[in-house]
Amino acid sequence: MREVIVIGGGPAGSTAATLMTQRGFDVLLVERERFPRFQIGESLLPYNNDLLNRLGVVPKLERGEFFPKYGAEFVTGDGEVGYTFRFDRNLPEAYHRTFQVKRADFDLLLLRNAAAQGVEVREETAVTSVHLDDPDRAVLQLATGESVESRFVIDASGHGSIIGQRYGEKSEIAELKKVAFFAHYRNVPRPEGRDAGNTVIVVLRDAWFWLIPITAELMSVGLVVDRDHFLKCGMPPEALLERTICATPFMAERMKNAERVTQVYARKDFSYAMKRMVGPNFALVGDAAGFIDPIFSTGVFMAMKGADVVATAVERRLRAGSMRLLRKYERAVNGALHRYFRFISNFYRREFLEVFMQPQNKFGLLPAIVGVLAGNIFTKSIPDRLRLELFFALIRIQRRSGVIAPRIEWERLPAAASM
């Protein structure tokens, strides 16, 4: 019997498997696809840097085709109001830079790194079912017809969450019923200097775009709209994406010479929570444990950070029989998702954007907000938490009286295209 089996070779699975191997466990990772494979989630956060260092992949990221990211710009679709949050002006030096990545290459790098550190990796090996009745053992059926056993199984199978579907008590997040349409383009201009690597978020009245420079050549462009709008608008994804680009002055200008080099991909129903993330012989990690909306690029960070925390908890479970750290892991992930949810659900409100996109640097508010955008979400620092409470108090005042920041002329912003 194996000690640990990890299902899925995305960032959560590769990280969990590598860290378990570094702790001396015998680990098998099974991945359904053959890498490299396309995946979305291309903008990383600097609070992932410590972990990338521990995995030993930073020199490879620096040598590879990945693009350095020093900040994020938020701008209205008419280009009238905007702000660039810079990590290198607001955070300690260790968090000045992160990377924009082509996920096919990034995930391959992490998976190869896991194998190089001793993980047995089997690609093109889908898990079809998992049996968890015996608390000290997990039995996995593979699509190859084999059955494999381990003392513990880590489900990092992404939004399909093979164990989570059955044991996780999954719930959709009603307020965040969105769909995303995206593709890679060439010939999209970017600013000079460090700002060239920024994520750009373009805010519409009822939707938003991302522009993510994933290599020196390629720009990932995505549109996120309400699911209901898509269902009612009667347009296929490609037409909705391209017509909304044309109807949004900021995007139309940036994309005027753009050439699309991939198909238009679609993702729906990506925001959900899992009530139960752990059991005596399993843990869910990464998207398998929950995901909330891509607006702040949190997914890969949460996947890898979750894998880091869970590795310590699984080690305790296997060496000392204790569930305590697994339960603590579940609370930590839920807490972080809850804090992100507060930001993300507010993002879709006008008064939030008015305060957020026209920030004043009083009481250390700016570094606290940049910290959240950089992934400083597991912090227990009381001053940081108080600053964020103050930020939300300012938004409440803005909603009532509009005295905190100039109003944005919301009705004049472009909207997602319809027939």
Residues contributing to the site for ligand FAD (CB under 6 A)? 7-13, 30-33, 39-43, 126-127, 156-158, 160, 162, 180, 222, 267, 270, 286-288, 291, 294, 297-301, 303
Nearer to ligand FAD, 311 or 355 (CB): 311
Q: How far is the CB of 222 from ligand FAD (least distance, A)?
A: 6
CB of 336 to ligand FAD, least distance (A): 13
Select 196 or 390, whichever has its Cβ closest to ligand FAD.
196
Read off the tokens for 409.
């002329």
Minimum CB–partner distance for residue 181 and ligand FAD (Å)? 9
Rounded Cα–Cα distance for residues 217 and 404 (Å): 40
Q: Nearest approach, Cβ of 411 to ligand FAD (angstroms)?
A: 27
**Dist CA 270 CA 291 (whole Å):** 7
211 near 198, Cβ under 8 Å? no
Rounded to 5, what percent of the chain is helix, strand, coil? 40, 25, 35
Q: Is the CB of 298 or the CB of 398 nearer to ligand FAD? A: 298
Helix residue spans in 95-226 (DSSP H)? 103-116, 164-167
CB 277 within 8 A of CB 329: yes
Q: Which residue do the tokens 């993702």 mark? A: 267
Residue type, 418: S
């001396």: which residue's tokens? 24
Among 148, 166, 146, CA closest to 157: 166
The smaller minimum CB distance to ligand FAD, of residues 126 and 365, is found at 126
Nearer to ligand FAD by C-beta: 213 or 279?
213
Which is nearest to 5 in space by CA: 107, 128, 120, 159?
A: 120
Minimal distance, residue 371 CB to ligand FAD, in Å: 16
Listed in sequence order, the DSSP H helices in 321-413 are 324-347, 350-356, 365-374, 382-401
User: Minimum distance between the CB of residue 293 and ligand FAD, rounded to whole angstroms?
Assistant: 8
Residue 186's beta-bridge partner residues?
A: 259
Query: Between 296 and 391, whose beta carbon lies closer to ligand FAD?
Result: 296
Which pairing describes strands 27-30 and 120-122: parallel, antiparallel, or unpaired? parallel
Q: Which is nearer to ligand FAD, 46 or 351 (CB)?
A: 46
The CB-of-399 to ligand FAD minimum distance in angstroms stands at 28
